[in-house]
Amino acid sequence: MTITPKISMTLITFSADDPGNWDHLVARVKAADAAGLDRMALSDHVAFGENLDAYGDPKAGGTAGGKQPTGPDGHWLEPLTTIAHLSALTTNLRFTTNILLAALRRPAVLAKMASTIDVLSKGRLDIGVGVGWQAAEYEATGLDFADRGAQLDHTLEVIQTLWRDERASMSSDRLSFDGIHQMPKPVQSGGIPIWVSGTVNARSMRRLARFGQGWIPWGPDAADLPAGIAKMRAAVEAEGRDPSDIEVVANLPIAADDNGVADFATSMAGVGALAAAGASDFRCMLRLAPDAPDAEERIAEMVTAFRASL
């Protein structure tokens, strides 16, 4: 299967302090839409505890050396609500979550919210999911952090069932229902694409093989992406699925010259090799002032350099 690589940006929908308003997000996505960017990715946190050092602990689901970008009182917009607003102001730009802590939402309600966004945006939604790193969020929503992987699998099973079946039924030790109807269905064939985050481990690879259209590598597998992709494909194949149609996120650092101006030619130098290895969604964070008057021009320049590098 041939997958055309795409370029995406992380949209900063959080702030260490109250920004006063979030109008700059509207300006940024409108500029990106006009510039031809493929996708915007939004982060998720429902609440914070006070042990933010866990973000730097791989055993808790964090990444070695990582640092949470705000304190516990940082302002974080809920991503699906934000996507619903921003997708109404754009035409072609796709939106995704990186990552949505899907297990914190009741599955049937999450299925309804996401399908509504998909219908109203005319099929421009992807959902990246993961288990997260913060026990406090699970505690605040009445869930067991130690059970987060199984809870995420259950959530994905329910939402994909409701997206797929006109008369849905489910029977498990967590939830049972029969003859449930939930309309409208997502407009995208096969339902809203799910991107599964994680390292190459048995549980996340089973999740990817079962539910995922794309993989969001984490930790050492993101740091050495070609090796990570090879391991992912072997693991997914061992689960009985052909991995050739699985898309992969690659981090795309944007280099800058001595004056802090983005150097797109240098930034795109490794894109071709990573695409050949299997990367398909090149995700960057382009540093622009919130009120940058040339945002559309700069994003368009980046998109053009990316397309030329393939």
What is the rounded average pLDDT of the residues 85-98?
A: 98
pLDDT at site 201: 96
Pairwise CA distance, residues 41 & 95, whole Å: 6
| Share above pLDDT 90 across residues of the chain, in percent, rounded to a whole number | 90
pLDDT in tens, 135-171: 999 999 999 999 999 999 999 999 999 999 999 999 9
Answer yes or no: is pLDDT of 190 > 70. Answer: yes
What is the rounded average pLDDT of the residues 16-24?
A: 96
Q: Three-state SS string across 151-212, please?
A: HHHHHHHHHHHHHHCCCEEEECCCCEEEEECCCCCCCCCCCCCEEEEECCCHHHHHHHHHHC
Q: Higher confidence at residue 167 or residue 57? A: 167
Q: Residue 295 phi/psi, 5° resolution?
A: -60, -45
Answer yes or no: is pLDDT of 266 > 70. Answer: yes
Helices (H) and strands (E) in the chain, counts: 11, 12
Answer yes or no: is pLDDT of 8 > 80. Answer: yes
Answer yes or no: is pLDDT of 183 > 90. Answer: yes
Tokens 């030329």 sit on residue: 308
Tally the residues of the chain: 310
Instruction: Tell me the pTM.
Output: 0.95
Q: Domain ranges in the chain?
A: 9-192
Contact 41, 283 (CB under 8 A): yes
Inter-axis angle of helices 79-87 and 107-120, nearest 10: 20
pLDDT in tens, 242-257: 999 999 999 999 999 8
Indicate the residue type of 191. G
pLDDT in tens, 98-115: 999 999 999 999 999 999
pLDDT at site 123: 98
SS3 7: strand
Contact 225, 232 (CB under 8 A): no
- Architecture field, domain 9-192: Alpha-Beta Barrel (3.20)
SS3 58: helix
Tell me what the pLDDT averaged over the chain comes to: 96
Answer yes or no: is pLDDT of 65 > 70. Answer: yes
* CA 61, chain centre distance (Å): 16
Contact 126, 96 (CB under 8 A): yes
pLDDT at site 1: 65
Q: Of the ranges 4-18, 59-73, 86-100, 178-192, which one carries the lowest mean pLDDT score?
A: 59-73
Pairwise CA distance, residues 35 & 286, whole Å: 13
What is the rounded average pLDDT of the residues 55-70?
A: 86
Beta bridge partners of 96: 41
